[in-house]
Amino acid sequence: MTRRHIQRLRYFGLLAAIVPVTAAGVITAPAMAASQVGVAAAVNTSAFGTAPGLSRKTKVLGDNVIYRERIETTGSGLVQVLLVDGSTFTVGPNSDLVIDEFVYDPNTGQGKLVASLGKGVARFVGGKLSKNKAGVNVNTPVGTIGIRGGIANMDLTSGGGVFSLLFGEELTFTGRNGETNRVYEAGYTLQVSGGGASSEVRRTTQADLGGVQQGLSGKPGQSGGATQKPTEASVTDSGFTQANSDLGVTNTLPAPKPEVVQSTEVTETDETLVQIQETTQDETVEEITEENPQPEPEPEVVTVQVRILKAGDTFTPSWNPSIVVNNPGAQGILGGSDGINENVIFTGGEIYSGSATELFYAQVDGNPLFQFIYGEEPSLFFYSQTYLNDDEDVIQQNGAVTVPAASVDFDPSYGEISGFGRGVQVSNEDFVAFAHFPAVSFDTNGPVYDPDGANMILGLYGVGTDWSQFNKTEAQVREYSLSSDPLTTFVMGTETGDGGLIPLETDALFMNPLVAQLMGTSFMEEIETTELLMIQRDPSTLRNSQVLASSFLIQGTGSSQKSFISLAVGNIFDDNGTLTYDTGRRGSHRMDASQSGAHYGGAIQTISGPDGSNFFGSDAQSFLIGGAVDNEDPYGEGYILRPNTLDQTDTLSMSFHVGVLDHETPVSSFERTQRTLAGFATGVFESGTNVVGGVLQPKLFASSSVDDLTLTFLPDANTLTAEVKVEDVLNADSELDSYHFGFGRNTNGGDSGRGTFIDNDTYAAREQRDTSAAYVVTDNNVTVTQPEGDNPNSYLIPDTLLPGADADIFAGVNRCTCAFLEWGYWGASVQLNGSDAQANLTNGERYDNMHLGTWVAGNATQSADLPSTGTATYAGHAVGSVVNNGAQYLAAGNFGMEVNFSTRNATAAVTNFDGRNFGASMAEVTTESGANLFSGSITGAGETMQGQFNASVVTGPDSVMDGVMGNFTATDGAGWSATGITAGALQ
């Protein structure tokens, strides 16, 4: 795990605990008198009770046991306390017991029992409360005992402590030093040293059992408090032998067994409480019996609905019925007409042993699906499962950071192996999601899994957020940790050789799993992410909240470089009464410097649960986000020249990510400034028009004026708007003069959802909804627009969004740290195939992509406001795109500039940019806005370098000349060319 969240949910599963599948119960007021917690169900002589504030008195059968009453026994005393939930404490001689805390709701079975055993011996038999995690705790002089769902002996007679689990799930011990030890199977004992300094787990011995049993056994002459002692005749006539003849014998010293769970469709039956009328020493004990006891009710069958997604054998996207994807599961494409996209009923099962609190089971497409619930939140873990007896039983092994090896070596009496599975689960309040991978076969060495992960089953359970109860005192910025795509995590994981798996650790978001595999493990492990950021507009709801999630990496330099960026930006809206997040997938990648870049499309949506909700938990703490499974609209990637490692259908995919709320911060805590900036942009465009003889010939485009980029931040609407113009400054393209793109909020003020503004350093935007904002201008000065409905799939981010993702290209470069300048990366595509394209373009259509261009913006000082005398020196960095004899990559170098305000001339120099040095002599030129602009021709060593350099002085916090920004386009005439931006601060 890296920074953030628990710190963050880096995997689809990573920590080891799970929230219950069903909603947590609410503990209400106890269903009994405030101070009465139970009764003395059996008493031998010399047992006393001291209620708080009262004098000591002898306990008799039927006595009330009062909250915080101290129960003491002498050397011959013995008492059994029956609590209202059905729990019993049997307290032996020379013992001291206090019920410190008792809360119980019989309607839900929820509550808590805390007692103190100061000395002596006692046996606890669990009732309803012991079935709850942390429901029963007993404090002792050596530490605290926790008892879960069972029977335990406690012996404090030896100076230390001996605590034995006779039956049930778990016995824990927490010593005075805070260290915890655990017994999770009957027949084992915790031996604690004097003072509780150390503890160890060992097998229970006959001496352990005999010592406690002797203390709890009645002595000659004792009657358990009964007024009439039983005789042989009365026992014979009682019918007890007939009632008891069919009961089996419980062995308290079983042989060790692995954790086995049977998936029978039953839950635990409620126990009938024994009621004993209140009494005192001066009152007569009244016995209450049932002449005609009612039969026990039939066991209640617990079921839950889980939404299940699974790939089919083929997939056809909704927008093109001629496309058929074979083996879509290997690309993460779930659902579709040939797959599974439905709610499935899971049935509760019986847990034999282990720490799980619930088990749910179903069959999906012939595969058994067992999901265990552990009762903690939020949590994640990996698991492996071994199925026995025709998939009726399962042995599960859990791992915090790895998938453990499946159990294959166990007692044959448990049955024969019938299959295997493994997966990962993440849970939170009222939310569980899992990805399960069934084994395709197995042999004596263990399971065999599909190497493509194509048979992955994705499951989602959740209780939707009650928005009527959702309200904040002020608007918040909410940060959700996003998990890795489970398919990529497992398929790219490392097998351990024993059936286990080390999952891939990656922060990639919305990436094609096939592309991830081609990028390689080292690349995937270095990707950085923003997580998912959400900023509220209205504190009473998430409606109209703006959302931003991105992942980014530039790895390597020169011809060995790979790069990737993904972005989801949009807003939460009301879709027929359901709050939904649905936006476009934006971004691009280049798998190899010699290959064409890919531009991203497709939809990203929240996945609804079985109840139709998209956000789960009381505070909308969880969601599942990914491909548009309901619309059958997968992610898509467009290449000008598709790499031969991918087929056409390989460009379609889906991914899935669980979001878990990490923290929230008031919007008022952030620095958010409304401002409008101007600047420059550059990029390298690939076009099908510029492919000659099967060889791609990319073209460099750049702004020629500081007025060619405008960027406006709108904090009141949590959005931004931007416009970019880049020109064919080297006259290299055969028919285009310029590209024009709009980002974020429409220029007319509509649709804020296309941009998200969190604070001055954290923002991003995609193309404007108005498609007319994206167009080209031909060399003949004719405007050609995209057809209505065709998106340019543009994106724009600042470098401050993920500042370390481009560290490789900045090695040895003095990066400008000027906060008054904004700069970053952008990308775009155009699809020109309408009537105006047919009339004005050479081929009647044109498809162009641009991957990771650069931009810079600042408050360009008006020419009239610059000093009229003196000079200024600036230093910073240059960063941009390189085309080097067919290879394309990004590079950075150092930048310096000197301005003479008297003559209005300037000189600029870029050094060590992809191993090259060049500069320019510039003079000020006029602009339409009146902003200053210096422009000149580039020269290089040996006069071989040519091109254009532009720069503008910017206003900062201290003066009208605090910094400088600009751009350049350069070529050496020998196959190398570059275009990029510059940013510098006053020295």
Are residues 675 and 647 part of one domain? no
3-state secondary structure string across 845-863: CEEEEEEEEEEEEECECEH
In a domain, 226, yes or no: no
Find, among 99, 155, 144, 108, the residue nearest to 129 by Cα: 108
In a domain, 247, yes or no: no
What letter represents residue 839's amino acid?
A
Residue predicted with more confidence, 498 or 532: 532
The pair of structure tokens assigned to 790 is 């065709």
Find, among 858, 793, 352, 812, the residue nearest to 587 by Cα: 793
Which residue is it, tokens 């294959």? 408
* Domain end residue (candidates: 624, 651, 668): 668
| Integer Cα distance of 575 and 358 in angstroms | 34
Instruction: Please give the radius of gyration of the chain, using alpha carbons only, rounded to the nearest integer.
Output: 36
- How does the average pLDDT of the chain come out, rounded? 85
Domain of 648, in residue numbers: 304-668
In a domain, 549, yes or no: yes
Whether the pLDDT of residue 325 is over 60: the answer is yes
The pair of structure tokens assigned to 838 is 């047919």
Give every CB contact of residue 819 below 8 A, 6+ residues apart in sequence.
Answer: none
In a domain, 112, yes or no: yes
Q: What is the pLDDT of residue 786?
A: 87
Span 56-65, pLDDT tens digits: 554 444 455 5
Are residues 683 and 651 part of one domain? no
* Domain end residue (candidates: 649, 668, 687): 668
Residue predicted with more confidence, 630 or 106: 630
Whether the pLDDT of residue 410 is over 80: the answer is no
116-120, 142-146, 444-448: lowest mean pLDDT where?
444-448
Find, among 949, 968, 964, the residue nearest to 871 by Cα: 964
Q: What is the pLDDT of residue 239?
A: 44
Whether the pLDDT of residue 13 is over 50: the answer is no
pLDDT > 90 in the chain, percent:
63
Output the CA torsion sign for 911, 917, 921, 926.
Answer: negative
Q: What is the pLDDT of residue 84?
A: 82
3-state secondary structure string across 792-803: CCCEEEEHHHCC
Give every CB contact of residue 875 below 8 A, 6+ residues apart in sequence.
Answer: 814, 816, 894, 895, 896, 984, 985, 987
Find, among 467, 949, 943, the residue nearest to 703 by Cα: 949
Q: What is the pLDDT of residue 53?
A: 53
Are residues 832 and 977 part of one domain? yes
At 771, is the pLDDT very low, low, confident or very high (cuts 50, 70, 90)? confident
Span 713-728, pLDDT tens digits: 999 999 999 999 999 9
* Domain end residue (candidates: 182, 204, 226): 204
Q: What is the pLDDT of residue 296?
A: 56
At 270, is the pLDDT very low, low, confident or very high (cuts 50, 70, 90)? very low
Vertex 216 angle, CA 211 and 221, to 5°: 125
| Integer Cα distance of 333 and 310 in angstroms | 8
Q: What is the largest CA-CA distance in the chain?
A: 126
In a domain, 240, yes or no: no
Are residues 811 and 735 part of one domain? yes
Q: What is the pLDDT of residue 340?
A: 96
Q: What is the pLDDT of residue 64?
A: 56
In a domain, 279, yes or no: no
Span 595-627, pLDDT tens digits: 999 999 999 999 999 999 999 999 999 999 999
The pair of structure tokens assigned to 113 is 């029992």
Q: What is the pLDDT of residue 10?
A: 29
Are residues 922 and 803 part of one domain? yes
Which of 116-125, 140-149, 857-866 has maximum average pLDDT?
A: 857-866
Span 22-36, pLDDT tens digits: 222 222 222 223 345
195-209, 547-561, 719-733, 885-899: lowest mean pLDDT where?
195-209
The answer to whether 729 touches 679, Cβ cutoff 8 Å, is no
Find, among 351, 445, 439, 449, the residue nearest to 393 by Cα: 351
| Integer Cα distance of 933 and 924 in angstroms | 5
Distances (CA, A) of 732 to 457, 690, 698, 728, 970: 51, 10, 9, 7, 12
Find, among 535, 569, 582, 531, the residue nearest to 552 by Cα: 531
Whether the pLDDT of residue 15 is over 50: the answer is no
Q: Domains in the chain: how many in total? A: 3
Whether the pLDDT of residue 47 is over 60: the answer is no
At 67, is the pLDDT very low, low, confident or very high (cuts 50, 70, 90)? low
| Integer Cα distance of 46 and 55 in angstroms | 16
The answer to whether 655 touches 627, Cβ cutoff 8 Å, is yes
Span 668-677, pLDDT tens digits: 999 999 999 9
Which residue is it, tokens 């959702």? 470
Considering the entire predicted model, what is its pTM? 0.73
Find, among 682, 830, 823, the residue nearest to 763 by Cα: 823
Which of 126-140, 716-730, 939-953 has maximum average pLDDT?
A: 716-730
Which of 106-115, 248-257, 757-766 has maximum average pLDDT?
A: 757-766
The answer to whether 596 touches 641, Cβ cutoff 8 Å, is yes
In a domain, 461, yes or no: yes
582-605 average pLDDT score:
96
Domain containing 165 — which CATH number? 2.60.120.1440
94-101 average pLDDT score:
87
In a domain, 843, yes or no: yes
